[in-house]
Amino acid sequence: MSDRQLGAMMVADDSYAGSATYQRLEAKIREIFGHEYFLPAHQGRAAENIISQTLVKPGQLVPMNYHFTTTKAHITLNGGTVEEIYGDVALETTSEHPFKGDLDTAKLEAMIAKHGADKIAFVRLEAGTNLIGGQPISLANMHAVRKVCDQHGLILVFDASLLADNLWFIKTREEAYRNASIRDITLEISSLFDIVYFSARKIGCARGGGITTKSEDLYKRMRGLVPLYEGFLTYGGMSVREMEALTVGLDETMDEDMISQGPIFIDYMVRELDARGVPVITPPGGLGCHVNALKFLDHVPQSQYPAGALASAVYIAGGIRGMERGTLSEQRNPDGSEPMASMELVRLALPRRVFTLSQVKYAIDRITWLHENRSIVGGLEWVEEPEILRFFFGRLRPTGDWQERLVAKFKADFGDSL
């Protein structure tokens, strides 16, 4: 959080109804997104629950540029099926394509022709596709998807959680918007979507979430689920102090200097690791530096979760916390079989205003050492595997004694130093 956000928390109005805090947040939402209606929620996944319960019927499809874990879980729980229709370039681990998060509109047209528009609950686009390296989506592609949705009467939904980084990439990579302001780009994006939702942890640097819409009908259809699951319509499960921080955080997201810091640091880390032979996803995306675990640990079978194993090894080698984004983050099929993820990534998140360049350099040094000693690292196996969202609280163990051998090698090279 910024100092302005921390200061704003001190003026929060805890009134249950008629809260000035809510009114300030609602006004900021309208200013930035240009949507008339706003529903607060305690998290982004809570917003997904409300949207899925409102729009998804059993047997329906939800096409999208790429899924996110909780998004897929909510759609599946409501009887729907996620269909990923990304472009062929999306899964190229090394590329200089600027917008690998774009949805393939030809595939969308083919899906509509095959199943019929009434079989599609809604179309979802995700800013900064989380599970394939934080790759952005272009504004030109958003316009193209909107055109298809208009032709077939489909609802278009936008997950704006990672919008901040995506805004920077549109500004710097999309020629038509180089001279546009961040506020104008945001308003143009929002105008294309029937529903915009977000996790405030990512876009506003606060705890909470929300749903915005320009449709009174959709607002009324979703509204009743907020007091049922979240809380009254003036807070939706959020602390009023967090709401004040979110109001300021959303405003700060319109600042080019603020939103550029993360992508600039990520670009540096990706380029430096790449130069050292460490396999990373290129071009650098948003949210963090993404290490390609399938190539880093090409001796570890995918069934032994190489991305999870690499995240564990990175922590052992440097006390660096990374996030597995691969098969561990998927769910088993109804028959118990395990779908292998399209990518096995370790996400090294670089949130804005948190890390210094010296810390990034430290991480580069330790990951380079680990890559030189990667043959020591083995896989993982389940000890306790939850049925839903298993990666949040499941428990695993190493296959063999590779963690002990990695520690021994570390001590042989570095002694007791850090």
Q: Name the residues annotated as catalytic.
A: 16, 68-69, 159, 202, 325, 391
106 burial type by CB count under 10 A (0-12 exposed, 13-18 middle, 19+ buried): exposed
> Residue 214: is it exposed, middle or buried by C-beta count within 10 angstroms (0-12/13-18/19+)?
middle
Q: Find residue 395's DSSP bridge partners.
A: 384
CA distance 278 to 355: 21
Paired tokens of 200: 């405030």
User: How does DSSP assign 56-72, residue by residue?
Assistant: --TT-EEEESS--HHHH
C-alpha span between 188 and 124 (Å, rounded): 17
Taking the C-alpha atoms of residue 82 and residue 67, their distance in angstroms, rounded to an integer, is 7
Q: What phi and psi, each to the nearest 5 degrees, are found at residue 303?
A: -70, -10
Close Cβ partners of 319 (under 8 Å, ≥ 6 residues apart): 418
Residue 345 CB partners (closer than 8 Å, separation 6+): 131, 132, 133, 281, 290, 291, 292, 293, 307, 324, 325, 326
Assess contact for 152 and 116: CB atoms under 8 A: no
Pairing state between β 123-126 and 156-159 = parallel
Rounded to an integer, what distance in angstroms lies between the CA atom of residue 332 and that of residue 314? 26
Distance CA 340, CA 342 (A): 7
β 345-349/323-325 pair status:
antiparallel
Q: Could you give the dihedral angle defined by the CA atoms of residues 200, 204, 210 and 213, in that order, rounded to the nearest 10 degrees?
A: -140
Distance CA 379, CA 386 (A): 19
